[in-house]
Amino acid sequence: ADILRGVFEAATRDAGTPTMGGAAPTVMIHVNQADLAADRGVGWIDGVESPISLTSVKQALCAGGFQEIVFGPNNEVLTLSTEKRFFTRAQRRAIAARDGGCTIPGCTIPAAWCEVHHVIPWHLGGKTNIDNGVLLCWYHHHSIDTSGWQIRMVKGKPEVRAPLCYDPTQTWRTTGNHRARPPGSQQARPPGA
């Protein structure tokens, strides 16, 4: 199922994928902005009776983006935001050249199979810029908020901190998957390696 989902996600990002009526197929997820900001509540998908967890809502926001719709007191649509949250092909190439593959130390998934993750989430104001994007494999991308791994950017390069169970020192480490490391620099290794 995960492989099939990855194929569909890659196809939806490809400029050559056909659209329906000029727009790519879209899943509508409704969530209260206050609930999202407070990290509580649930979301609703059009046509589905049961709610989905806020974790699922946040994963969908990260993977698929969102458009904010502001309703007035009589449920009239007041504004509809534009959706510009995906990294461009050129940005993906630059990030792939820098990261070389999944940013998590010890993961060997190559760049071509990775997704670009917003270090500062897009729905929290993070920009779709090279210095806010890192490569993560599907597994690490969809578990980054619950696994204990942390990522930050320092001078345009990602640093990672392993969960306490892997690294009791909680040391931030530069990632070392890219081929353009300066001579003599240390590559990040999984804690205990």
Q: Which of 12, 67, 53 is nearest to 145 (CA)?
A: 53
Whether the full predicted model's pTM is greater than 0.85, yes or no, is: no
Domain identity same for 119 and 67: no
CB atoms within 10 A of CB 133: 24
Domain end call among 37, 62, 80:
80
* 183 and 191 Cβ atoms separated by less than 8 Å: no
Q: Which residues pair with 101 in a beta bridge?
A: 110
Confidence of residue 20 (pLDDT cuts 50, 70, 90): very low
For residue 135, what is the domain's CATH number? 1.10.30
- Cβ atoms of residues 57 and 29 within 8 Å: yes
pLDDT at 16 over 70: no
The reply to whether 116 and 94 lie within a common domain is yes
Average pLDDT, the chain: 78
Residues 36 and 53 in one domain: yes
Q: Does residue 99 share a domain with residue 69? A: no
Q: Does the pLDDT of residue 184 top 80, yes or no?
A: no
**119: DSSP letter:** S
Give the angle subtended at the CA of 40 by the CAs of 138 and 158, to the nearest 5°: 40
* Contact predicate 64/74, CB 8 Å: no
Q: For residues 88 and 123, which has the higher predicted lDDT (pLDDT)?
A: 88
State which of 57, 80, 103 marks the end of a domain: 80
> pLDDT band at residue 98, thresholds of 50, 70 and 90?
very high
Q: Is residue 192 part of a domain?
A: no
Give the range of the structural domain holding residue 160, as residue numbers without chain letter. Answer: 89-174
Q: Does residue 186 lie within any of the structural domains?
A: no
Average pLDDT over every residue of 27-44: 80
In a domain, 9, yes or no: yes
Q: Are residues 62 and 109 located together in one domain of the fold?
A: no
Residue 144 within a domain: yes
Cα–Cα dist 16/14, whole Å: 5
Strand, coil or helix: what is 78?
Answer: strand
Shared domain for 64 and 103, answered yes or no, is no
* CB-based contacts of 14, cutoff 8 Å, min separation 6: none
What average pLDDT does range 16-36 have in this prediction?
A: 65
Helix-, strand-, coil-residue percentages of the chain, each rounded to 5: 30, 20, 50
pLDDT > 90 in the chain, percent:
32
Check: CB of residue 94 under 8 Å from CB of residue 131: no
Q: Are residues 57 and 95 in the same domain?
A: no
163 and 99 together in one domain: yes
Pick the last residue of a domain from 80, 104, 120. Answer: 80
**Confidence grade of residue 100 (pLDDT, cut at 50, 70, 90):** very high
As for how many domains the chain has, the answer is 2
Q: Is 65 a residue whose pLDDT tops 70?
A: no
Residues 95 and 72 in one domain: no
Domain annotation covers residue 187: no
- Of the CA atoms within 13 Å of residue 77, those in its CB half-sphere come to 6
Alpha helices in 45-186, H assignment, sequence order: 54-64, 89-99, 138-143
Q: Is residue 40 part of a domain?
A: yes
The region that residue 28 occupies, defined by phi over 0 for left and psi between -120 and 50 for alpha, beta otherwise, is beta
More confident residue, 86 or 132: 132
Residue 53 CB neighbour total at 10 angstroms: 11
**Is 181 a domain residue?**
no
11 and 76 part of one domain:
yes
Q: How confident is the model at residue 140 (pLDDT cuts 50, 70, 90)?
A: very high
Residues 68 and 103 in one domain: no
**Highest mean pLDDT: which of 1-5, 69-73, 121-125, 175-179?**
121-125
Interval 46-59 mean pLDDT: 82
> Stretch 76-89: mean pLDDT, rounded?
70
Mean predicted confidence (pLDDT) in 164-188: 73
Residue 153 has pLDDT above 50, yes or no: yes
Mean pLDDT of all residues in 107-119: 92
If asked whether residues 70 and 110 sit together in one domain, one would say no
pLDDT at 74 over 80: no
